[in-house]
Structure 1
Amino acid sequence: MSDELTSELRELAAEGEMLPALSGAEIRGRALRRRRRRRTTLAVAGGFAAAGLALALVLNLGGGTDQRPAPAASPTGTPSLPAVPDATVDLSRRVISVAGRELPLSSGSEWTPTGTGRMTVTAKESVKVMPGSVAGIKGDYHLKVPWVIEFSASDGTANYIAGLTYDEKAPGDYDRTTGWIGLRQADAKWLYGQLSPGSVIDVEGTAPTDTPTARSTSTPPTALPGAGAGAGAGSGTSGG
């Protein structure tokens, strides 16, 4: 293609330097031949372009060997809970580990065991009025429980951690609750400031069997600090 165009340009340059020695019919014939050559050149160039486009389409449709990998699928579903919990409850050792500290605890007895698994804190209350049955007291009694941290399992089962005001000797020594986790008041208050709704708690192990001495010591009193008869014993105040 380049040689033909060069040749035609040279002919035009030569014709411009000298007077035409051809008749009108010969000049028209030469112009006709030039038009035919241009058409042939354009047709050949179009053929190359069409062939290139067809090859590109074949490669894009998977006909080539150099195929690009499909983009990775976007992750779906709800985010999982963090691998490391904010607090770990070890029922067998009677401790809860939080921020490098171990706090002694008292959990449910062998008759009312504490549920295990991964839990999430759902609410907090600095004081909560609870039925006396949480302390194993029969009758229409209520008591005020301080520094209450409520948490739930994935199936909706709820439990809580709070200050065990009526028996501060129990945490770390024996289990006397009806399934919730009791701490000394000072420890319960500190933990209340460490955990918030959304915090993750792992409850692991099994509470050891109490000794007869521990069971006799843990007999619930008939009257509890802050307790009163009926529903009018007081009301909880929201904290956090």
Structure 2
Amino acid sequence: MSDELTSELTAELRELAAAGETPPALSGAEIRGRAARRRRHRRTAATAVGASAAAALALVVALNLGGGAADRHPSPAGSPTGTPSVPATPDATVNLSRRVVTVAGRELPVSSGALETPTATGRMTVTAKASTKVMPSEDIVGPGYDLKVSWFIELLAADGRTNYIAALSYDEKAPGVYDRTSGWIGLRMSDAEWLYGQLAVGSVVDIEGTAPTATPELSTTPSAATPELSTTPSAATPAGDAAAPTATGP
């Protein structure tokens, strides 16, 4: 190929390349300015993110060191819903009508207040216990000397009324049969000791029902209306077929 042909071909290729070029929409200065603005935006965003992270970290540290606002202002879910309710099922139930106390599925005979000193009913709580305790006699059976009772359990009602359970040692025939206390609840010695071990301070005792009327005690003395059998022959009974003896003179 000659030099002339080569020069023509080169010139045509240059013209073709020039015709296919697209002039840039922005000048070089404008492109450099836009790039600079983008770099500034990126730096500003990074700075803001870093400041937010630092503030959050500082808040967490302050809460951990100072106990946190959550401790001073508990959420509604963590707030108490009210005072604890009284248990629905008592630890012991005294039925005055049947003269029994039911504890742990076992029934023990009791003697409660006499007609003139009835036992108060209601729910009570055990507040104190003592294996032996000296009580004024008027609190037991009436005026007299102070008495020592065994297996003493003190009871307190919500309205301030007090009562107690103890061994009725001076009349162990009374529990389950008749009522003879001044209002307290008496048990036989062995039953009172067992109950003492079952109930603790804080145990709940329900007292319900009404004491029945006094049960008359059986008497072994013969009734005055009962005739006694006699071995002496009656005067109206004939002596027999034998003739009566005839009186003889001197």
Scaled by the length of structure 1, what TM-score is found?
0.60
Q: Which residue of 2 aligns with 1:181?
A: 185
Which residues in structure 2 correspond to 1:153-192 (within 5 Å)?
153-192=157-196
Q: Distance in 1 between matches of 2:183 and 2:97?
A: 14
Q: Which residue of 2 aligns with 1:100?
A: 105
Deviation readout 1:139-163 (Å, 9 max, x if unpaired): 4x11111111111111221110011
By how many angstroms is 1:37 displaced?
Answer: 9.2
2:206 alignment partner, one of 202, 205, 218: 202
Q: Distance in 2 between matches of 1:113 and 1:145?
A: 20
Equivalenced residues, count: 164
By how many angstroms is 1:134 displaced?
Answer: 2.6
Q: Distance in 1 between matches of 2:88 and 2:152?
A: 25
Q: Which residue of 1 aligns with 2:127?
A: 122
Q: Which residue of 2 aligns with 1:74?
A: 79
Per the alignment, do residues 30 and 119 of structure 1 end up closer, same or farther by CA in structure 2, a change over 3 Å counting?
A: closer
- Code of the aligned partner of 1:143: L
Q: Distance in 2 between matches of 1:109 and 1:177?
A: 6
SS of aligned partner of 1:137: coil
Aligned-residue CA RMSD in angstroms? 3.2
Q: Distance in 2 between matches of 1:131 and 1:37?
A: 100
Per the alignment, do residues 132 and 36 of structure 1 end up closer, same or farther by CA in structure 2, a change over 3 Å counting?
A: closer
SS of aligned partner of 1:134: helix
SS of aligned partner of 2:178: coil
- Code of the aligned partner of 1:150: E
Q: Distance in 2 between matches of 1:153 and 1:147?
A: 20
- Code of the aligned partner of 1:108: G
Would the aligned equivalents of 2:142 and 2:182 in 1 still touch at CA under 8 Å?
no
Q: Distance in 2 between matches of 1:108 and 1:78?
A: 34
Q: Distance in 2 between matches of 1:135 and 1:26?
A: 116
Q: Distance in 1 between matches of 2:30 and 2:191?
A: 111
Would the aligned equivalents of 2:124 and 2:204 in 1 still touch at CA under 8 Å?
yes
SS of aligned partner of 1:128: strand
Deviation readout 1:23-76 (Å, 9 max, x if unpaired): xx95324545x459969xx7xxx9xxxxxxxxxxxxxxxxxxxxxxx9546224
Per the alignment, do residues 37 and 189 of structure 1 end up closer, same or farther by CA in structure 2, a change over 3 Å counting?
A: closer
- Code of the aligned partner of 2:132: V
Would you identify which runs of 4 or more consecutive aligned residues in structure 1 move more than 3 Å?
29-32, 34-39, 70-73
By how many angstroms is 1:208 displaced?
Answer: 1.0
1:91 alignment partner, one of 92, 96, 112: 96
- Code of the aligned partner of 1:167: D
Q: Which residue of 1 aligns with 2:29?
A: 28
Per the alignment, do residues 215 and 176 of structure 1 end up closer, same or farther by CA in structure 2, a change over 3 Å counting?
A: farther
Would the aligned equivalents of 2:95 and 2:101 in 1 still touch at CA under 8 Å?
yes
By how many angstroms is 1:109 displaced?
Answer: 1.7
Structure with more contact order per residue of length (Cα contacts < 8 Å, sep ≥ 6): 1
Larger radius of gyration: 2
- Structure 2's unaligned 5+ residue stretches are 1-22, 46-74, 220-250
